[in-house]
Structure 1
Amino acid sequence: MDQLISLCMIVKNEEKVLRRCLESVKGLADEIIVIDTGSDDGTKAIARSFTDEVHDFVWIDDFSAAKNEAIRRANGKWIFVLDADEYVDKEKSAELRRFLSTQDHTKPIGFTLPVYNFTHNVELGRFVESTAVRLFANHPLVRFERPIHEQVMSGSEPMAGTNYPFIIFHTGYTQQTWSEKKKGDRNLQLFEKLKAQKQFEEYDYFTLGNEYNAQGDPKKALQHYKKALTKRAQTQSFYPFCYHQAVACLIQLDWLKEALEYIEQGLKNWPQFVDYYCFKAMVCQQLGLYDEAIQLFEKCIDIASHPSQKDGRYWLMSANYGNLIPYSNLHALYARRLDIQQTVYYLTKLIQFHKSDYLVLYHLLGLLTQREPVSEVIAFLDKIYNEKTPEQSLQLLQVSFLLGNKELSVHYHAECHKLNIPLPAQHRLYYALITDQPSEFDLILASLEDPEIPAMDHKLSFLASIVWQDAKYGTYIQASSDNSLIDMHAYLFAPEQATTDNIPFDEDFVTKLLVDLFKMNRFEGYDWLIQRYSAFNDALANRMGDHFFSQFQVELALDYYSLLLDQNQLGDNGYRNVGFLYIYQGNQEEGAAFLAQSIEMTPEDATSYPTFFKACQDQELRKKVRDLYRQKHTQYASIPLIQTIIKDQA
């Protein structure tokens, strides 16, 4: 047994992910043993490109049986178990091998490894951590038991592995992966067999809850999580994960009173970790308790910055609760307060965390370019992207287009050209539009090989037509099956053909056009489009006022809001925005009056009530709004945090 590590795995139809898994263990495993349980795709061919040890196994509805077949064939001193949708960090392999070479493989011992379960796209970095015994001695007493969510046994007892920080990354719980592989139906059948055999224990309820959770049924998932959370289970390793999942389901189901009860107990059980402070912050934000949410999210960041644990660990289930999630929510919370400094600060934290996040970069640059010279914005970006890749240069060019910023577009267009980055026709068209080159725009269109597939999207067709006042670009919409857009374009350039009763109008689409025209400083086109749709001035004025407010362009927003207020046409978002603005500026009573109007217009939105109650001193108005809250939000009104706010002032 000269080999140190044997990788053992079972597979079926894993051609999309298997290569990534096996590439990651190069330099780690001395041998790879793959047991195939019935693949009919390219899985076995991929496996054979890495190892000769690829064996067929007749599936008997038992994962343990298949895995035991794999470890039976292993020759290494240590057995490492991975699923095909998992992978490891190759740079940590040598360190793990050095560690194992010092351990006694002649005893039935194992190691518990952290598993980072990605819940969204891997690029977003959002995960929940679990642990599992995945590395153990190749010993005759060690085997797998249970047909599903199998456990490593040492003799007659589950193996209690020693923790070791070698991370396994797992993508199998992303919604896309789950739906593609249709794991749920197969697994539920196995659980039904277990139930029929009366072999169900707390761990089985927990894993069954995970199955329902992955299928998007949090209600059934919660039922099973609760059955798993017995007093006997508190000492078992799955308990913290199960408790975490139960709270997540309660929040998803909007059962916030019960969620808070679980969260408070979680804070008592695990006060040294950020998880339940973050959960409480999320619930507060959902309830509209924005000040409390800010304090709690910032507490999470503080705990993460000053961990009390000797190993530096500040999280129970996910490190995201100490950085990514607080950053994501704090920038939105401070934006509501119109605190641009803090908003920019947390957006910057986010983009440093994930440089490929287009939406965060868009919001950040949108704020910076309004207030800073473009040269300083570029210098700022050079610090963030200090070793810029071609993909990042292209990303910055794309975001410059979205912002409609000519200077940024010219800079990053030149940078892409210098790096010989080929630009698709869509990008070249946007660049010609932003830099006002209609002849270049036409040349690009003429160069397209297949006129049946236009290179520009519908919005670009409209923008080119409006900016250059040329209806010919509308012909590129003809390939679309969306007749409403075709009718809109025809109306814009021949309005006399429509009557006031049949003007084609898409409020969302026209708002997007107006926003883009404004960002590109195409004010003539902006006014022209507004004039064409004068019959819908009130709707568009509300939408543009809301947009300018969201971009911290408060004076522009208030110009629109004031006109609408004079005409008694201000929408609920406008009343809400002005209400929050006045309150944060110290004008409590007037702000409360605006919020009361917004609440009356959309009483189903629960988030404005707490801020109203904190600001309003008018007892009669408070009673009116309180009655409405209790009527529309019965499930929240009994929450202690809410009760202390909505009660009458002393």
Structure 2
Amino acid sequence: RQGPRPGRHPDALNLRGAAMYRVCLVVIARNEAALIGRLLASVKPWVDDMLVLDTGSSDATPALAQAAGARVAHFAWCDDFSAARNAALDLAAADWHLVLDADEWLIGGGQALLELKQQRPDFVGSIELLDQFSDGQDRLAHARLSRLLPGHLRYAGRIHEQPQHRLPCRPLPVQIGHDGYLPERLQAKRGRNQALLLKALQSQPEDAYLHYQLGKDCSVYEDYAAAEASFARAAALCPGEMSWWPDLVARRLFGLKQLKRHDQGMDFAQTQLDRCAQSPDFFFALGDLLLDCAADLPDQAPGLLPLIEDAWLRCLEIGERPDLSGAVAGRGSHLAAHNLALVLEGTGRAEQAVALRLRFALAA
């Protein structure tokens, strides 16, 4: 009788009688020579295998990946992330697949990856993604993404692809860093995602998620008019409570502020008070929009200042919510406290401002 297959063995037993499952890092990459080593070095101690699918590099990415201990294969890029992801998953052929990109790396949670070797692949594991970005200051945004997949699962979607499944999802204590939104990285891939999103929308014009992602892409590159058009379309099409909704709302309010469309922003925010009641990012963006309006229209400032103060107080009451997709670290704590302290100082409450700054300096 034949023994279990060496690559995938769903019910294989080791000598101690415990099920053993193989875990493989799966990466698609092109021209990532500067980053691929960081990713592979961070993950290698915790997995059984690493597969890098090169999609047409003209630099040393394949050689560096191989030197770092990864299996390397090649794929002809066809403007379809799912096609590339699925080709890589086919080649990886493990029981568990950890799907990451070259501009990501493991920060913490290696032990949870090791423990997958003893866990049947009958659920999807989500990881915490920590996005580094810059808006004049270094910031950190949080997201939870399904990146630990049972071996049989595959992706759908030309861009911002999603694994297709009906399995239960389980949050795992795995933290992944991501710095692809830093300015120099953004410029290197400017226009790429937008072209793919527009192509995807040609065949799926009623897909709210694609319109949301197009709005994000336009906003990142400071095309706020185009972002607003996409966010408005996504809002009109949104089928219900989506995990990305509070992020859309906060981004849309920021864009409307940049466009000086304060009244439209306030009207939209009014409709979201219940839906985003537990999002500090929503109230932070609302306070920011109201402050910008007060600066532009000084005669309205006395009436707006209490609303601005209430918005940032609400941020502090809610606190940090890293579990919400797109949540920016600090908007439920020190960033909101800083803005609120400025309002307190400007309205003759210097002692309260000092106490607030001290409170959150100590908390930090």
Query: TM class, shorter-chain normalised?
Result: 0.7 to 0.9
1:467 equivalent in structure 2: none
Q: Secondary structure at the match of 1:67?
A: helix
Mapping for residues 296-307 of structure 1, pairs under 5 Å: 296-304=311-319
Change (3 A) 1:335 1:13: farther
Distance 2:157 2:315 in 1: 39
Query: Residues 206 and 228 of structure 1 are in contact (CA less than 8 Å); yes or no, is this contact kept in structure 2?
Result: yes
Q: TM-score, normalised by structure 2?
A: 0.80
2:4 equivalent in structure 1: none
Distance 2:358 2:60 in 1: 43
Correspondence 1:120 to 2:134:
yes
Query: Residues 27 and 94 of structure 1 are in contact (CA less than 8 Å); yes or no, is this contact kept in structure 2?
Result: no
Distance 2:56 2:325 in 1: 40
Q: Secondary structure at the match of 1:269?
A: coil
Query: Residues 27 and 102 of structure 2 are in contact (CA less than 8 Å); yes or no, is this contact kept in structure 1?
Result: yes
Correspondence 1:104 to 2:120:
yes
Correspondence 1:171 to 2:184:
no
- For the pair shown, which has the larger CA radius of gyration, 1 or 2? 1
Mapping for residues 579-598 of structure 1, pairs under 5 Å: none
1:152 equivalent in structure 2: 163
Change (3 A) 1:316 1:33: closer
Q: Secondary structure at the match of 2:331?
A: helix
1:6 equivalent in structure 2: 24
Change (3 A) 1:273 1:121: closer
Correspondence 1:190 to 2:196:
yes
Could you report, residue by residue, the CA deviation over 1:225-265 in whole angstroms, capped at 9, with x for unpaired residues? 22122455224433333333222322232222222222233
Change (3 A) 1:70 1:269: same
Change (3 A) 1:45 1:143: same
C-alpha displacement of 1:347 = 4.9
Query: Residues 118 and 128 of structure 1 are in contact (CA less than 8 Å); yes or no, is this contact kept in structure 2?
Result: yes
Correspondence 1:138 to 2:119:
no
Mapping for residues 521-532 of structure 1, pairs under 5 Å: none
2:43 equivalent in structure 1: 25
Amino acid at match of 2:275: N
1:129 equivalent in structure 2: 142
Mapping for residues 221-300 of structure 1, pairs under 5 Å: 221-230=227-236, 232-286=238-292, 287=294, 288=301, 289-300=304-315
2:334 equivalent in structure 1: 324
Change (3 A) 1:346 1:35: farther
Distance 2:257 2:127 in 1: 28
Query: Residues 314 and 322 of structure 1 are in contact (CA less than 8 Å); yes or no, is this contact kept in structure 2?
Result: no
C-alpha displacement of 1:9 = 0.8
Change (3 A) 1:236 1:302: closer
Change (3 A) 1:338 1:16: farther
C-alpha displacement of 1:71 = 0.8
Which structure is higher in helix share?
1
Distance 1:283 1:19 in 2: 42
Change (3 A) 1:200 1:170: farther
**CA-atom RMSD, angstroms?**
3.1
Task: Identify which of 215, 218, 225 aligns with 2:224.
Answer: 218
Query: Residues 246 and 282 of structure 2 are in contact (CA less than 8 Å); yes or no, is this contact kept in structure 1?
Result: no
C-alpha displacement of 1:217 = 0.6
Q: Secondary structure at the match of 1:237?
A: coil
Amino acid at match of 1:34: V
Query: Residues 127 and 146 of structure 2 are in contact (CA less than 8 Å); yes or no, is this contact kept in structure 1?
Result: yes
Change (3 A) 1:121 1:10: farther
Mapping for residues 270-419 of structure 1, pairs under 5 Å: 270-286=276-292, 287=294, 288=301, 289-304=304-319, 317-337=327-347, 341-345=351-355, 347-348=357-358
C-alpha displacement of 1:338 = 6.1
Amino acid at match of 2:274: K
Query: Residues 23 and 96 of structure 2 are in contact (CA less than 8 Å); yes or no, is this contact kept in structure 1?
Result: yes
Where relative contact order (Cα < 8 A, 6+ residues apart) is larger, the structure is 2
Change (3 A) 1:14 1:284: same
Distance 2:290 2:257 in 1: 11
Query: Residues 21 and 117 of structure 2 are in contact (CA less than 8 Å); yes or no, is this contact kept in structure 1?
Result: no
Distance 1:315 1:327 in 2: 22
Change (3 A) 1:198 1:335: closer
Could you report, residue by residue, the CA deviation over 1:191-232 in whole angstroms, capped at 9, with x for unpaired residues? 343344456622221222222122221111121122122455
Distance 1:50 1:13 in 2: 16
Give the length in aligned residue pairs.
Answer: 337
Change (3 A) 1:38 1:349: farther
C-alpha displacement of 1:34 = 0.7
Q: Secondary structure at the match of 1:328?
A: helix
Amino acid at match of 1:322: G
Change (3 A) 1:48 1:200: farther
Query: Residues 274 and 316 of structure 1 are in contact (CA less than 8 Å); yes or no, is this contact kept in structure 2?
Result: no
Amino acid at match of 1:104: R
Distance 2:61 2:358 in 1: 42
C-alpha displacement of 1:95 = 3.4
Query: Residues 243 and 324 of structure 2 are in contact (CA less than 8 Å); yes or no, is this contact kept in structure 1?
Result: no
Query: Residues 253 and 289 of structure 2 are in contact (CA less than 8 Å); yes or no, is this contact kept in structure 1?
Result: no
Consecutive unaligned residues of structure 1, counting only runs of 5 or more, are: 355-650
Distance 2:80 2:249 in 1: 27
Amino acid at match of 2:120: D
C-alpha displacement of 1:153 = 1.2
Query: Residues 275 and 315 of structure 1 are in contact (CA less than 8 Å); yes or no, is this contact kept in structure 2?
Result: no
C-alpha displacement of 1:89 = 1.7
Q: TM-score, normalised by structure 1?
A: 0.47
Change (3 A) 1:273 1:201: closer
